[in-house]
Amino acid sequence: MNSVIRTVHRWTSLVFSLIVASIFAGMAVTTLPEWFYYLPLPPLAVLIPTGIYMFFAPYFSGRQDALPAARGRA
């Protein structure tokens, strides 16, 4: 489950980045239709819940050693 969420987040971030880059590239060459500026929103709507899930998952795993603050400690 955790790895599925992480993989979804990873690939969606790639799609999101490409869309944002294409907006900047498109703005440099032409006047884009207004709907084009809304294209990053669907992938962002996936990134926010999956990202928030990954942020809080360690705190609910019951494993104190999995907490980010515990990294580097024995």
Is 10 a binding residue for ligand HEM by CB under 6 A? The answer is yes
Which CB, 3 or 31, lies closer to ligand HEM? 3
Is 47 a binding residue for ligand HEM by CB under 6 A? The answer is yes
The DSSP-derived string for 27-70 is HHHSPPPGGGGGTTHHHHHHHHHHHHHHHHHHHHSS-GGGSGGG
Is 9 a binding residue for ligand HEM by CB under 6 A? The answer is yes
| Residue selected from 25, 55, 61, 66 as contacting ligand HEM according to rule CB under 6 A | 55
Is 66 a binding residue for ligand HEM by CB under 6 A? The answer is no
Tokens of 74: 């024995």
